[in-house]
Amino acid sequence: MTWLLLAGAILTEVAATMSLRASEGLRKKRWIPAVAGFYLAAFGLLTVTLSLGMPVGIAYGIWAASGVALTAIGARVFFKERLTLRMSLGIVLIAIGIVVIELGATH
């Protein structure tokens, strides 16, 4: 259950960041409720995840790293932003790091 909540926190944080990008620096006011709502949901889900006993180092590390990787991919998909080979390598390294953190948490 904690992993599903963490996944929800990650996805809502990425949705918030994508909404922030769509708002063009909050100039498009119609995006402000989405930005605020998604960020509140992300922090709320992360809070519940931590309250259920997931160690903060694991939860925050995975939340932050996954958010960075998924945001870069989302920016490419939705806004046609560049995703260089170096950035792609960074995403692969993030994924490897998440697996290592996961494996370390189970031992």
pLDDT of residue 106 exceeding 70: no
What amino acid occupies position 44?
G
How many whole angstroms separate alpha carbon 68 and alpha carbon 84? Answer: 15
For 5, 31, 37, 72, 88, the CA distances from 41, given in Å and listed in that order, are: 11, 15, 6, 20, 28
pLDDT digits 0-9 by tens, 23-77:
998 889 999 999 999 999 999 999 999 999 999 988 998 999 999 999 999 999 9
pLDDT digits 0-9 by tens, 62-82:
999 999 999 999 999 999 999
pTM score above 0.75: yes
pLDDT digits 0-9 by tens, 77-94:
999 999 999 999 999 999
